Structure 1
Amino acid sequence: MDSEKAAYGKFFTEKVRLFSYDYLKCCLYITSPDVLEKGYVLTKKLYSKLIATSQVLENFLDFHGAKNNKDWYLYRELSAAVRHLSLGGYSQKHILNRLVFYNLSNIENFEDQGRKTLDFLTQSLVKMAPVILDEAKRLDIPIPQESFTSSDFPGIATTDRLEYNINDEEKVQQQKHVVKIANEFLNIADHFDQFGFYEPYELEKIRTIVPDTINEVEIRRYEMLVHNLQSSFDTYVIHGGYAFGRRKLKDLRSHFSVVFHLLQMMGRLLHFYERHLRTAGYKDNYKKARNQLSFLVDPDMLLDRTINYGLYFACHFLSTGKELAREILNENIERNIIKVGIPVTRGFHSRPSLLVAKVVRHYGGQVELCAGEGRFDASSVLDIQWAGGKIQNENITQVSFEGDSRALRDIEILAGVNYGEDAMGNGIPLPKELKYLRE
């Protein structure tokens, strides 16, 4: 039995050396004069190496039960910290690298805050590297004799550009996809408004919303929605890069692309905060590891960068992209005109006005209610009620709606059930095509 245990220990020792080798070489590089004295920034290639090496090490340690071993728990937690901070750093580095191509307006503060965020992530990794090396020594894991050098991690940008020789004009039959994407962008932006704020939060306020309102699960849900939006755009609208093609469409892509990468970063930082800094179980080993991580990665600063940078600018770019999305939507929607009766017997009071406006806002395209010589915005409850007053005063019995044919189709269905109410003004069940109005 003892011989089997010894053999297993030898096997584990060799495996942990192999799985730690490149990970520790990265740590050696981060603590080297190249980084500490010459001030080299961490590149995407280095972040990528840190992500890959820390993940395989973390998986190896988890497989062998490090989360339940007092000797190996901290080494495992450090590998998780490196992975999540490097994933966040990779996304933030990508944003800064691509900013010149995004064609976003008034981004000076965004760029400054982005660099501040990246510096925090970089300095956190720099602080962790010597602790990781010391922990490896304590566990008798051999430290590599050689480190990586700056030449192993070049930056992604060069002064050269490849020749533009593939036509990147719009794809055939893309109009319906443009409409769908612009519509989905508006829906995501409207739902995300629940998180909106217009000035930085104090730390006390941030602690009241993380994780109760803002948490990894919520942010990653929106990350997936925006990722699907970007994927659809690249598949069905414009496949190529940013420099050519229909500028307005690519400007819209810039808005949801930068939001996507902000959400990526936020998701990783929130995971790290919720899983590794905020809670750590009741055992002393867990609490000790959490305290050590909190010393290396300032939880307050992490929350500030997650909310006052990540969330703030995600809200900002979703909001500023709305006008562009509506413009693109209205340029590409199929337009139509329908004539329908008015609600019996109370006209366009609150319920019918609200349901019509919800239909129009659901699709996002422009629709006008035409009553006599008057034209009213059918996405506005107040405008529809103004129209209702005119209809009543002039004894109008029929109105027309002009605009987005998708919305008109549903308004016609809604009118067919007297705009969702009976003759006494009580609400009635809506057809299944309109179930979204009850959500």
Structure 2
Amino acid sequence: ILDRYPYYNLRESEQKKDKFNNASLGVLDFLNRSILDLLKELCTTAETNGLNVSIDIENQIEFTEIESNTRLPRNVAEDQVKDEEEHVIEICEKIKHISRLMNDSKISQLQNRNELKLAVLKKYNEKRARMHKNLIHNIQSDFDTHIKNTRIEARYQDLKILRGYVSMPLHLLEISLWLAHFYERHEDEIRPGENRTRISMIVNKDVLLDKIINFGFYYSQYFINEGNILAGEILKCFTKIVKVELPVPKPLGFHARPSTLISIIGRQFEDLELSVIVDGEKFNAKSVMSLLQVGGIIADKGYQTIIFEGDKRVINDL
């Protein structure tokens, strides 16, 4: 993460960059110390059982030294892909979906030890980390298949930044997944056994819980939410406003049930407007009250059809 973060050129202030880098360095230090302590215990146990271990355990390796920064030019294969705009729209919508899904989890930074423990056991666990990671990995895969190194990516520079906002939570959720896995499988309050107690004495459980929640899950949500904001801005560049004439619901017109359904469909596209037009006047089709008002006008005048106006995606769903 520390190696790739600068190359994503995200829209982050220097203060936020410094805060995230410092948090990342803290996690790296914890991981390095924990791995080395586990290695020392492994070597001690091996020697106790008569195994000869010839490893210099005092030589602390900083894993960040192993880097690969060689990158091909972005225009090596600038392919023309069919329906590029449709793929951009689809990817942006998927980002907005996973952002809503993660926000529904209400991830927040916690300080209380018991709250951290309950959060990992009941909510922010290995299963949730894997689910979110897989969804985001699918988005990244779609982006690389349909958008990366295409003319549309070259034309809209924000698309390159958007990929960074997808990649960051992917890496962070990988960390959360493996740390949560370690806690659930090997810490002393999850599984019985002699080794669980020994491991819990080597790896600081409180710090481990803190890194799972306050680093991995928290920052993965932060970056996907920033990606959600950028995705909304990008979608506005691809908005296609259309009008369509649709039949009035039978037999009762725009009463509560169809009005609610139309409102739900419209509100799924939170950044896009949806209007209904009656006698040249526009009404907000995302509002149930507005639709009920429209229903009264339609009933009075006996209209059998009605005009909806909005982005093509919303109209298609209607």
TM class by shorter chain equals: 0.7 to 0.9
The verdict on how the C-alpha distance between 1:259 and 1:139 changes in structure 2, with shifts beyond 3 A counting, is same
Which string of whole-angstrom CA distances, capped at 9 and with x for unpartnered residues, describes residues 292-311 of structure 1?
11111111111111111111
Deviation at 1:97, TM superposition (A): 1.0
**Counterpart in the other structure of 2:138:** 228
* Contact persistence 2:169–2:223 (CA under 8 A): yes
Tell me the percent identity: 26
* Contact persistence 1:269–1:302 (CA under 8 A): yes
Unaligned 5+ segments in structure 2 are none
* Contact persistence 2:277–2:309 (CA under 8 A): no
Q: Figure out how many residues of one structure are paired with residues of the other and give that number.
A: 305
The verdict on how the C-alpha distance between 1:374 and 1:137 changes in structure 2, with shifts beyond 3 A counting, is farther
**Counterpart in the other structure of 2:112:** 202
Rounded Cα–Cα distance in structure 1 between residues aligned with 2:284 and 2:7: 36
* Contact persistence 2:253–2:295 (CA under 8 A): no
* Contact persistence 1:369–1:399 (CA under 8 A): no
Is 1:128 paired with 2:34? no
Amino acid at match of 2:102: F
The verdict on how the C-alpha distance between 1:296 and 1:174 changes in structure 2, with shifts beyond 3 A counting, is same
1:205 aligned counterpart, secondary structure? helix
Rounded Cα–Cα distance in structure 1 between residues aligned with 2:94 and 2:63: 42
Rounded Cα–Cα distance in structure 2 between residues aligned with 1:355 and 1:326: 23
- When structure 1 is superposed on structure 2, of 331-340 and 162-171 the one drifting more is 162-171
Which string of whole-angstrom CA distances, capped at 9 and with x for unpartnered residues, describes residues 190-209 of structure 1?
12222124443522222222
Rounded Cα–Cα distance in structure 2 between residues aligned with 1:293 and 1:273: 10
Is 1:385 paired with 2:294? no
The verdict on how the C-alpha distance between 1:126 and 1:377 changes in structure 2, with shifts beyond 3 A counting, is farther
The verdict on how the C-alpha distance between 1:102 and 1:133 changes in structure 2, with shifts beyond 3 A counting, is same
Which string of whole-angstrom CA distances, capped at 9 and with x for unpartnered residues, describes residues 222-275 of structure 1?
1111111101100111149xx966321112111111111111110101111011
Q: Give the counterpart of 2:315 among 386, 403, 408.
A: 408
Amino acid at match of 1:401: F
Deviation at 1:390, TM superposition (A): 5.0
Rounded Cα–Cα distance in structure 1 between residues aligned with 2:284 and 2:225: 21
Rounded Cα–Cα distance in structure 1 between residues aligned with 2:235 and 2:154: 21
* Contact persistence 2:108–2:214 (CA under 8 A): no
Counting only pairs closer than 5 Å after superposition, residues 107-126 of structure 1 correspond to structure 2 as 107-108=16-17, 109-126=19-36
**Counterpart in the other structure of 2:207:** 301
Larger Rg: 1
Superposition TM-score, scaled by structure 1 size: 0.61
Amino acid at match of 1:126: L
Superposition TM-score, scaled by structure 2 size: 0.82
Deviation at 1:377, TM superposition (A): 4.9
Q: Give the counterpart of 2:67 among 147, 152, 156.
A: 156
Amino acid at match of 2:308: F
The verdict on how the C-alpha distance between 1:354 and 1:167 changes in structure 2, with shifts beyond 3 A counting, is same
**Counterpart in the other structure of 2:47:** 137
* Contact persistence 1:370–1:402 (CA under 8 A): yes
Q: CA-atom RMSD, angstroms?
A: 3.2
* Contact persistence 1:329–1:364 (CA under 8 A): no
The verdict on how the C-alpha distance between 1:116 and 1:150 changes in structure 2, with shifts beyond 3 A counting, is closer
**Counterpart in the other structure of 1:270:** 180
Unaligned 5+ segments in structure 1 are 1-94, 412-439
Amino acid at match of 2:266: V
* Contact persistence 1:170–1:238 (CA under 8 A): no
Is 1:176 paired with 2:82? no
